[in-house]
Amino acid sequence: MSDYTPSEIMTIAAARELQNDDVCFVGIGLPSAACNVARLSHAPDITLIYESGTIATKPNVLPLSIGDGELCETALCTVSVPEMFRYWLQGGRINKGFLSAAQLDRFANINTTVIGPYARPKVKLPGAGGAPEIATSCGEILIVMAQSKRSFVDKLDFITSLGHGTGGDDRERQGVTTKGPTKVITDLCVMEPDPETKELTVTGLHPGVAPEAVAAATGWSLKFAATLAQTPRPTEAELGVLRALHRRTEQAHQSKAAQ
Amino acid sequence: MAGFTSLGEAIRDNLKDGDTVAFEGFTHLIPFAAVHEAIRQKRRDLHLVRMTPDLIYDQLIGMGCARKLTFSWGGNPGVGSLHRLRDAVENGWPTPLEIDEHSHAALANAYEAGAAGLPFAVLRGYRGAELKEVNPNIKEITCPFTGEKLAAVPSIRADCAVIHAQKADRKGNVLIEGILGVQKEAVLGAQRAIVTVEEIVPDFGPVSPNACILPSWTVSAVVEVPGGAHPSYAHGYYKRDNAYYKAWEDIGREREVFLKWMDENVLRKGPDVFSRHAGRAA
């Protein structure tokens, strides 16, 4: 068995959460990598949707932006951005949304807006993009992001997108009928919301990761399930798919536009 | 009725200081050449509207053209920050920038409502999201039929919309292909519209009856600017110059480096420099 990096097992563990019959709204970055690894391995017919309006796209390289030409050229069809958000997302046609975040809290609420106060930002982050409505309109949400005390925080500087709010039935009380975040996959572990309180609980560890290391990379007192699963090691085939995808992507993005 | 003109005249005649302007193109067909002309003509006090500000608004903001920004995702896609946007928001350089921040769904709905001539858009959005606490342009509205609480945002009806497209025919009709973004809505919601195109052709030839075409009477000015969307791309013509987007990280980061780059590559140049990026994809 070959070695792998924490980032690689994170992406591969995230990819395993997707099935062939999923219709998935894909965020850029880590989610895009995970979704395409799934498509290029165990879920060849998965429907990947990007907010640029591309439906059932099959990119050969990972897009740098959410609207690279590759996405449109390999899509079943491409609709306008208003149609994408109105008919397809708000219309309830998408069963999974795959997101990432700058900051996440214990109820899997997402901040991608600002570090520091909104009126006097220390760091202005890019902002919401599609996430607030992806988070509430998709059937369920998967989140993939690297874990550290800076990103897994006790209190968000800003709630850009709703996770489980203040916990319990807060989503329902806010008029949201979808499940919200069902899994958070990091480079150390897998977390799931507690069925009652909705607080994120570690349910699985990646091979060789100690619970203490996970706790130390979290900004709140993290809960662990009584029995912890161990993430299966990435297979040679999974690693091959991921590395080839990154290699093709790297080459494509470094070269000046073909003319 | 669209008139064929030069880029200089199109901007001079249709974009005024203080205008609300939407330079649109959702990662595709971004009107870089038109933005550079607006910067050369020193437009000031613009209210910029765009879902993804991208490098073009980083350039306009850094050059002091903007007083306000309406947007929904302000990063350099896949690369990181827009440093000129951040410098304006965090430090007020070169001038303070008022921000009107939304989600993609809200702005997409707002453009559609603008094209439909409505005063506001309604969506099932912003639930549990804090933007509605800090942006007075996000309100709650109750459905008069079901009682459901929904979000409302003002429609976007710009003074001027500026887009780039693949083709115009000799009558000034405009054909857009590939990722369509919100360009059609931006143009139909605006008082005036400028369209730069890769080429002007005698006629479009065989296109789908459902093709995205803006009739010439919806457009104020059409300008042929081959390569005018570089470093974004034109489906069927040239690819996105991802290396340029990555290089912008270092160009945009420091004020002096940025100003020097803009002087050399924008202020001292004209629309013709874009033609070297033009071409047809094999």
B230/chain A closest Cα distance in angstroms: 10
For chain B, domain boundaries:
3-100+158-274, 104-154
Number of domains in chain A: 1
CATH of the domain at A163: 3.40.1080.10
pTM value is 0.96
B44/chain A closest Cα distance in angstroms: 23
Asked if pLDDT for residue B6 goes beyond 90, the answer is yes
Q: Residue B282 has what pLDDT?
A: 43
Q: Residue B174 has what pLDDT?
A: 98
Mutate one of B107, B131, B274, B280 to test the A interface: name it (highest A CB count within 10 A): B131
Tokens representing residue B75 in the block: 């990063």
DSSP summary character for residue B127: T
Q: Decide if A51 is catalytic.
A: yes
How confident is the prediction along chain A (259 residues), in pLDDT tens digits per residue? 569 999 999 999 999 999 999 999 998 889 999 999 999 999 999 999 999 999 999 999 998 887 888 899 999 999 999 999 999 999 999 999 999 999 999 999 999 999 999 999 999 999 999 999 999 999 999 999 999 999 999 999 999 999 999 999 999 999 999 999 999 999 999 999 999 999 999 999 999 999 999 999 999 999 999 999 999 999 999 999 999 999 999 888 776 543 3
**φ and ψ at residue A19, rounded to 5 degrees:** -115, 165
Is residue A252 included in any domain, yes or no? no
Q: What is the pLDDT of residues B58-101, one digit of tens each?
A: 999 999 999 999 999 999 998 999 999 999 999 999 999 999 99
Is residue A62 included in any domain, yes or no? yes
Interface size A-B, in CB pairs within 8 Å, comes to 205
Q: Residue A28 has what pLDDT?
A: 82
Cβ distance of B85 and A68 shorter than 8 Å: no
Cβ distance of A90 and B123 shorter than 8 Å: yes
Taking the Cβ of residue B274 and every Cβ of chain A, the question of whether any pair is shorter than 8 Å is answered with: no
Is residue A158 included in any domain, yes or no? yes
Taking the Cβ of residue B241 and every Cβ of chain A, the question of whether any pair is shorter than 8 Å is answered with: yes
Nearest to B75 among A126, A253, A255 (CB): A126
Q: Residue A253 has what pLDDT?
A: 79
Nearest to B240 among A68, A80, A160 (CB): A68
Taking the Cβ of residue B57 and every Cβ of chain A, the question of whether any pair is shorter than 8 Å is answered with: no
How many angstroms separate the CA atoms of A25 and A90, rounded? Answer: 12
Is residue A254 included in any domain, yes or no? no
CATH 3.40.1080.10 fits B3-100+158-274, yes or no: yes
Structural domain boundaries enclosing A78: 6-247
Cβ-Cβ contacts under 8 Å, B240 against chain A: 64-65, 68-69, 257
Residue A17 is which amino acid?
A: E
Taking the Cβ of residue B166 and every Cβ of chain A, the question of whether any pair is shorter than 8 Å is answered with: no
Q: Which of A17, A51, A70, A133 is an active site residue?
A: A51
